[in-house]
Structure 1
Amino acid sequence: MSPLMIDSADFSHKLGLVSRNVEHTEAFLARGTADFHLPGFVLPVGYRLLKSLYSDEYRIVTTDEGKPYTAYAVKLEFHNEITFPHGAATQVMVWRTPRTLHQSVVSGFPQFFFQWLLSEYNVVVSDSEQTGDGQRFWLRMIDWAFTMNYQISVADGTVGEEWHLTPVNSYAELEERWIAFAWGYDCDVHPHRRLVISKK
């Protein structure tokens, strides 16, 4: 599945309004969480990185006017059909607050979390649907991955039963050949193409 381009996702609307953010944060906390320590990442006083006890969801939570507020949220999904026999991780929900107050805290976190994810699971695959922000983030991470000499591939699931992975050898090649192939608005095609970054 390659990334189908979409407008802002539903969770963005839920977390984007402060009142709804507080409500969803309270529900997230009520279901049960534990502090999560990302090696090398230090949050300022007043912020906590939490992981749900019941799903692979992580949030940076703070307090806004005495109420819990999510400044950043990411949810993971694990699978191996695209990169079989290797397992892979996909960020299926990524949201960050637009509020200026929290920008210094969350600005570098998405890249840091992504790099940790890759170091833990070796293979990260893009989601089947992405906003314009999601695409820009992936292009940044692919550019970084090239500097690390990691393997970048395009996975195509539109032909036959199995996914076909094609290596991408440079960022220039990605721009010339693969961006238009991988991202677009065709509901029958683009959810079945993905980008893959692998340490192997």
Structure 2
Amino acid sequence: MSPLMIDSADFSQKLGLISRNVEHTEAFLARGTVDFHLPGFMLPVGYRLLKSRYGDEYRLVTTDDGKPYTAYAVKLTFHKEITFPHGAATQVMVWRTPRAVHQRVISGLPQSFFQWVLSEYDIVVSDSEQTGDGQRFWLRMIDWAFSMNYQISVADGTVGEEWHLTPVSSYAELEERWIAFAWGYDRDVHPHRRLVISKA
């Protein structure tokens, strides 16, 4: 359950093509949404930040050529098995549009949303699979977390039945010892290793 490196995620293919993005955005809206306020994020005219009424999925939606379009999407899951007895949040889907017209709006949004998740839930754990973009995002957020004096750990679920958390004391230690350990392509190993950022 840790960073197994993958080429691309299914949701990226679904949201990446404009026609499929519109179709999936329409379905997301039809299921029911509420407006969501992200502290510190200035919502530009023509965009809405929405949360699903029935799950922990959030999207930044705009209207392209009169049709709804997702410019940013993230979905959360919650669990305790890695950080027991404490609960943790994991972003299992993070996607942002490659379209240039939306870049000024979504620039910094993934980081702001991640910071909000951490402020709300205290512990964020990496997903079991990540693309290269996902890995780079996590490395940025770990670097930021060190600057905030938060706790960074590597969780290893490959030995025994329980997850073992090892604190990481610096970004230099992360680079030297843990990046190759935690991220890789071995389906029997890397899905069972995670990165953990905790406020306490």
TM-score by length of 2: 0.99
Q: Which runs of 5+ in 1 are unaligned?
A: none
Figure out how many residues of one structure are paired with residues of the other and give that number: 200
The CA deviation string for residues 146-193 of structure 1, in whole angstroms up to 9 with x for no partner, is 000000000000000100000000000000000000000000000000
Distance 1:189 1:171 in 2: 23
User: What does 1:82-161 align with in structure 2 at a 5 Å threshold?
Assistant: 82-161=82-161
TM-superposed CA distance for 1:138, in Å, is 0.1
Equivalent position of 2:19 in the other structure:
19
Quote how far apart the aligned CAs of 1:2 are.
2.2
Larger deviation: 181-190 or 1-10? 1-10
Q: Distance in 1 between matches of 2:12 and 2:45?
A: 25
- Show CA shifts across 1:57-92 (max 9, x none): 000000000000000000000000000000000000
Distance 2:11 2:107 in 1: 19
Quote the residue 1:42 is aligned against.
42
Whole-angstrom CA distance in 2 between matches of 1:55 and 1:86: 21
Indicate the percent of aligned positions where both proteins have the same amino acid.
88
Which deviations, in whole Å up to 9, do the C-alpha atoms of 1:94-123 show, x marking residues without a partner? 000000000000111000000000000000
Structure 1 length-normalised TM: 0.99
SS of alignment partner, residue 181 of structure 1:
helix
Quote the residue 1:62 is aligned against.
62
Q: How far, CA to CA, are the matches of 2:16 and 2:173 in structure 1? A: 36
Show structure 1 runs of 4+ deviating over 3 A.
none
1:8 deviates by: 1.0
Question: Which residue in the other structure is 1:9 paired with?
Answer: 9
Distance in 1 (alpha carbons) for counterparts of 2:2 and 2:72: 25
Query: What's the counterpart of residue 29 of structure 2?
Result: 29
